[in-house]
């Protein structure tokens, strides 16, 4: 669509454009005497000069799509020549759903199709005044993990719709692409709008958790909006959510609960995992075990746990890898709980190897073969599945005095990462790879590793009788 300055804007629309520019959003957020307060707040943040990133939603039906569409529509109309994007994991979903909302919004505010045109071949919306919205496909492509395909495009601002479907790399790249097109000239702060339902991915780590703790950076904002806060919603919509039998869906979409993750690949439910803390049913025996995940690259924690049966009864964590301290701690625990060396294990990769040698304990090699020729990709995978079994059977326990609330959150997060993964060519069972986990939760799952090593003993339960010396000498005489 060629830029056309001769187009006549209807009076009613001119007024709206002027109002929007002045930060008066009532014509959007008030209807039949009811005001959508959260939508109002979202539009304020999206047009202020203080904030850069806004995460909005965290439940269904809060008007996420409407808010995004109305914001971009009026930014385009108010600021000629500005350039925006709408990104989603699948382009098809933008054209089938987000674009439909966009048309409805245009219709609602009297923006007819002489003022903009959608180019279905190259997927962009162009306005009569030269403003433009690109529709971006944010699908993760193995050949382009860092989203370099968008690495040089310049935008005034943009909107990631359904952030739960979008990979961290897309967010990380797109936030560097905004603020690069006429922002200074138009006096616009760079903006990234992200709409979402709850999802334990980068949004949880980067927005939700810090916002809950009160230490989200000043330029970022998390605005929660539940369906009940949307005065324009069809009551049937809420009823539908309220009567769903799917607990996880209800928690996430109706109540906006971020702790529930709707992941069909999860091996344990959120409820089963949180039940491990102070679990009255934990399998407690008279046998102690020690498992240690040893920090490999400084950033990770070394964690040493003592188990009485399947209950974690003692714990020590080291923020950086100090091999001698770790060894001293292992020996201390061995003596304190009388744990023989064949019931102690540490991961043997990296620094761990030295500790295993020096303490003369069992070594755990992630990549070694599964026991009994079972159909797992490797030993770690086998133990991860076993761990999930114990959690689901309510056998695993953690003494709640050992861990802080923050630790509990982290342990829960890591155990939720026990997920099945696509089977390989040989049909062996896999779990979600560590690299993927790091992408999603931002750190290495050290707790999980320390926990899953406990399951090594399920396959290596050997008792060495006290009188072995006697019997040996008997045999030799």
Ligand X SMILES: Nc1ncnc2c1ncn2[C@@H]1O[C@H](COP(=O)(O)OP(=O)(O)O)[C@@H](O)[C@H]1O
The alpha carbon of residue 277 and the mean position of all alpha carbons in its chain are separated, in whole angstroms, by 22
* Cβ closest to ligand X, residue 32 vs residue 467: 32
Strands 397-398 and 311-318: parallel
Longest dimension (CA), the chain: 111
Report the site for Mg ion in 41-70 (rule: CB under 5 A).
64-65
183 in contact with Mg ion (CB under 5 A): no
Q: Under a CB-based contact definition with an 8 Å cutoff, are residues 217 and 184 in contact?
A: no
For position 230 contacting Mg ion by CB under 5 A, the verdict is no
**Contact string (CB under 5 A) for Mg ion, positions 7-46, x = contact:** ----------------------------------------
Residue number, 72 or 415, with CB nearest to ligand X: 72
The item of ligand X, Mg ion, none sharing an interface with residue 429, based on CB under 5 to 8 Å by kind, is: none
- Rounded CA separation 75/77 (Å): 5
Q: What is the DSSP letter of 94?
A: I
Select the binding partner of residue 370 from ligand X, Mg ion, none (C-beta < 5 to 8 A, by kind).
none
The alpha-helical segments, DSSP class H, found in 254-298 are 270-274
Number of separate helices (H) and strands (E) present in the chain: 21, 18
- Residue 233: contacted member of ligand X, Mg ion, none (CB under 5 to 8 Å, by partner type): ligand X
Q: Which is nearer to ligand X, 219 or 232 (CB)?
A: 232
Burial of 95 (0-12, 13-18, 19+ CB in 10 A): middle
In the complex, least distance from residue 94 CB atom to Mg ion, rounded to whole angstroms: 11
**Among Mg ion, ligand X, none, residue 173 binds (CB under 5-8 Å by kind):** none
Q: Which residue is nearest to Mg ion (CB)?
A: 65
Check if the beta carbon of residue 124 is closer than 8 Å to that of residue 133.
yes
415 binds, among ligand X, Mg ion, none (CB under 5 to 8 A by kind): none
> What order do you get walking across the sheet with 132-137 strand by strand?
116-119, 124-127, 132-137, 83-88, 157-160, 191-196, 53-57, 220-224
Contacts of 132 (CB under 8 A, 6+ apart): 76, 82, 83, 84, 124, 125, 126
User: CB-wise, 232 or 297, nearer to ligand X?
Assistant: 232
Number of residues binding to Mg ion, judged by CB under 5 A: 2
Nearer to ligand X, 57 or 179 (CB): 57
Output 60 or 188, the one with its CB closest to ligand X: 60
Rounded CA-CA distance 235/83 in Å is 36
Nearest to 172 by CA among 446, 433, 442: 442
Taking the alpha carbons at both ends of the chain, their separation in whole angstroms is: 101
CB of 161 to ligand X, least distance (A): 8
> Which is closer to ligand X, CB of 24 or CB of 406?
24
Instruction: Indicate whether 334 belongs to the interface with Mg ion (CB under 5 A).
Output: no
Our finding on whether 197 is near Mg ion (CB under 5 A) is no
Distance, in Å, from the CA atom of 437 to the CA atom of 18, rounded to the nearest integer, reads: 47
Give 68 or 305: the residue with its C-beta nearer to Mg ion: 68
206 makes contact with Mg ion (CB under 5 A): no
With b for 16 or more beta-carbon neighbours within 10 A and e for fewer, the 172-211 pattern comes to: ebbbebbbebbbeeeebbbbbbbbbbbbbbbbbbbbbbeb
> Is 380 a binder of Mg ion (CB under 5 A)?
no
Residues of the chain by 3-state class (helix, strand, coil), percent to 5 = 40, 20, 40
From Mg ion, ligand X, none, interface partner of 402 (C-beta below 5 to 8 A by class): none
Residue 445 binds which of Mg ion, ligand X, none (CB < 5-8 A, kind-dependent)? none
Q: What is the DSSP string of 343-356?
A: GEEEE-STTHHHHH
Q: How far is the CB of 29 from ligand X (least distance, A)?
A: 6
Applying the rule CB under 5 A, the residues between 62 and 121 that interact with Mg ion are 64-65
Minimum CB distance to ligand X, residue 348 (Å) = 49
317 binds, among ligand X, Mg ion, none (CB under 5 to 8 A by kind): none
**Binding residues for ligand X (CB under 6 A):** 28-29, 31, 36, 39, 57, 60-66, 230, 232-233
Please choose, from the candidates 343, 300, 344, 69, the residue with its C-alpha nearest in 3D space to the C-alpha of residue 195: 69
**DSSP assignment string, 292-325:** EEPPSSSSSPEEEEEEETTEEEEEEEESS--HHH
Q: 443 contacts which partner out of Mg ion, ligand X, none, CB within 5 to 8 A by kind?
A: none
Q: State the nearest-atom distance from the C-beta of 145 to ligand X, in Å.
A: 29
96 versus 367: smaller Cβ distance to Mg ion:
96
- Which does residue 47 bind out of ligand X, Mg ion, none, counting CB within 5 to 8 angstroms by kind? none
- The continuous run of DSSP H or E covering 231 comes out as none
Nearer Cβ to Mg ion, position 158 or 179? 158
Using CB under 5 A as the criterion, which residues of the chain lie in contact with Mg ion when the complex forms? 64-65
């Amino acid at each position: 669509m060629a830029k056309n300055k001769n187009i006549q804007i209807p009076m009613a629309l001119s007024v709206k454009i002027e109002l929007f520019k002045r930060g008066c959003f009532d014509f959007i957020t008030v209807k039949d005497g009811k005001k959508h307060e959260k939508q109002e707040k979202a539009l304020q943040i999206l047009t202020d000069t203080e904030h850069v990133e806004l995460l909005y939603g965290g439940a269904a039906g809060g008007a996420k799509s409407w808010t995004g569409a109305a914001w971009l529509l009026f930014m385009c109309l108010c600021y000629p020549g500005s350039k925006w994007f709408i990104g989603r994991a699948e382009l098809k979903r933008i054209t089938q759903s987000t674009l439909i909302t966009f048309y409805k919004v245009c219709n609602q505010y009297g923006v007819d199709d002489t003022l903009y045109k959608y180019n279905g071949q190259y997927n962009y919306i162009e306005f009569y005044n030269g403003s433009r919205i690109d529709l971006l496909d944010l699908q993760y492509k193995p050949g382009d993990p860092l989203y370099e395909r968008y690495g040089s495009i310049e935008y005034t601002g943009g909107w990631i719709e359904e952030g739960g479907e979008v990979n961290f790399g897309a967010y990380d790249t797109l936030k560097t692409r905004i603020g690069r097109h006429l922002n200074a000239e138009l006096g616009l702060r760079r903006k990234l709008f992200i709409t979402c339902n709850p999802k334990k991915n980068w949004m949880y780590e980067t927005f939700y958790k810090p916002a809950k703790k009160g230490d989200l950076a000043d330029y970022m904002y998390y605005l929660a909006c539940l369906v009940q806060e949307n005065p324009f919603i069809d009551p049937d919509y809420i009823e539908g959510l309220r009567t769903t039998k799917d607990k996880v869906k209800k928690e996430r979409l109706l109540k906006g609960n971020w702790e529930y993750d709707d992941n069909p690949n999860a091996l344990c439910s959120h409820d089963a995992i949180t039940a491990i803390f102070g679990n009255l049913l934990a399998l407690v025996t008279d046998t102690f075990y020690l498992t240690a995940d040893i920090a490999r690259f400084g950033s990770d924690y070394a964690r040493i746990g003592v188990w009485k049966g399947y209950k974690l009864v003692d714990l020590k964590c080291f923020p950086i890898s100090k091999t001698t301290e770790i060894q001293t701690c292992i020996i201390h625990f061995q003596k304190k709980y009388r744990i023989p060396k064949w019931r102690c294990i540490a991961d043997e990769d990296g620094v761990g190897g030295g500790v295993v040698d020096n303490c003369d304990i069992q070594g755990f090699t992630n990549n070694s073969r599964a026991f009994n020729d079972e159909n797992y990709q490797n030993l770690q995978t086998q133990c991860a599945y076993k761990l999930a079994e114990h959690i689901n059977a309510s056998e695993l326990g953690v003494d709640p005095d050992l861990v802080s609330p923050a630790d509990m959150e982290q342990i829960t997060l890591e155990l939720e990462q026990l997920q099945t993964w696509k089977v390989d060519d040989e049909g062996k069972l896999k779990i979600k790879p560590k690299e993927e986990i790091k992408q999603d939760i931002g750190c290495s799952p050290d707790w999980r590793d320390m926990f899953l090593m406990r399951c090594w003993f399920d396959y290596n339960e050997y008792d060495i009788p006290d009188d072995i010396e006697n019997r040996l000498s008997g045999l030799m005489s």
